[in-house]
Amino acid sequence: MSDFLAQCRAVVGEAYVLDAPADMAPFLTDWRGRFTGKAAAVLRPGSVEQVAALVRACAEHRVALVPQGGNTGLVLGSVPDASGAAVVLSLARLNTIRQIDTVNRTMTVDAGCVLQQVQDAAAAEGCLFPLSLAAEGSCTIGGNLSTNAGGTAVLRYGNTRELCLGLEVVTPQGEIWSGLRGLRKDNTGYDLRDLFIGAEGTLGIITGAVLKLYPQPKASITALAAVPSPAAAQQLLVLMQDHCGASLTGFELMSRFCLELVAREFPQLPKPFATPHPQYVLLELSSSESEQHAVGLLERSIGAALDRDVIADAVVATSVAQSAGLWQLREHIPLAQAKAGKNIKHDISLPVSRIADFIAATGPQLEAAFPGCQLVCFGHLGDGNLHYNVAPPEGISNEDFLVNQDKVNRVVHDSVVAFGGSISAEHGIGALKRDELAHYKSAVELNMMRAIKAALDPLGIMNPGKIL
Check residue 464 for interaction with ligand FAD (CB under 6 A): no
- The nearer residue to ligand FAD, 208 or 392, going by C-beta atoms, is 208
Of 39, 66, 109, 356, which lies in the binding site for ligand FAD, with binding defined by CB under 6 A? 66
Report how far residue 53's alpha carbon sits from residue 173's, in angstroms, rounded to the nearest whole number.
10
Check residue 45 for interaction with ligand FAD (CB under 6 A): no
Check residue 91 for interaction with ligand FAD (CB under 6 A): yes
Check residue 72 for interaction with ligand FAD (CB under 6 A): yes
Q: How many CA atoms lie within 13 A of 98 on its CB side?
A: 18
Q: Which residues between 108 and 127 bind ligand FAD (CB under 6 A)?
A: 111
Of 17, 109, 122, 149, which lies in the binding site for ligand FAD, with binding defined by CB under 6 A? 149
Is 250 in a helix, a strand, or coil?
strand
Check residue 135 for interaction with ligand FAD (CB under 6 A): yes
Helices 48-61 and 2-12: crossing angle in degrees, nearest 10, is: 170
Task: Count other Cβ atoms within 10 Å, centred on residue 148.
Answer: 19
User: Least distance in Å: CB of 295 to ligand FAD?
Assistant: 27
- What number of chain residues touch ligand FAD (CB under 6 A)? 37
Of 5, 59, 139, 261, which lies in the binding site for ligand FAD, with binding defined by CB under 6 A? 139
Check residue 234 for interaction with ligand FAD (CB under 6 A): no
Q: Which residues between 199 and 218 bind ligand FAD (CB under 6 A)?
A: 200-201, 205-206
Is residue 74 within 8 A of residue 347, CB to CB? The reply is yes
User: Least distance in Å: CB of 191 to ligand FAD?
Assistant: 17
Query: CA torsion, points 236, 148, 93, 9, in degrees to nearest 10?
Result: 150
User: To the nearest 5 percent, what fractions of the chain are helix, strand and coil?
Assistant: 40, 20, 40
Task: Count other Cβ atoms within 10 Å, centred on residue 22.
Answer: 7
Interface map 367-406 toward ligand FAD (x if CB under 6 A)? ----------------------------------------
Residue 334 CB partners (closer than 8 Å, separation 6+): 134, 387
Query: CA torsion, points 116, 35, 333, 415, in degrees to nearest 10?
Result: 110
Residues that bind ligand FAD (CB under 6 A): 31, 66-74, 77-78, 91, 111, 133-135, 139-140, 142-144, 146-147, 149-151, 200-201, 205-206, 334, 426-427, 430, 463, 466
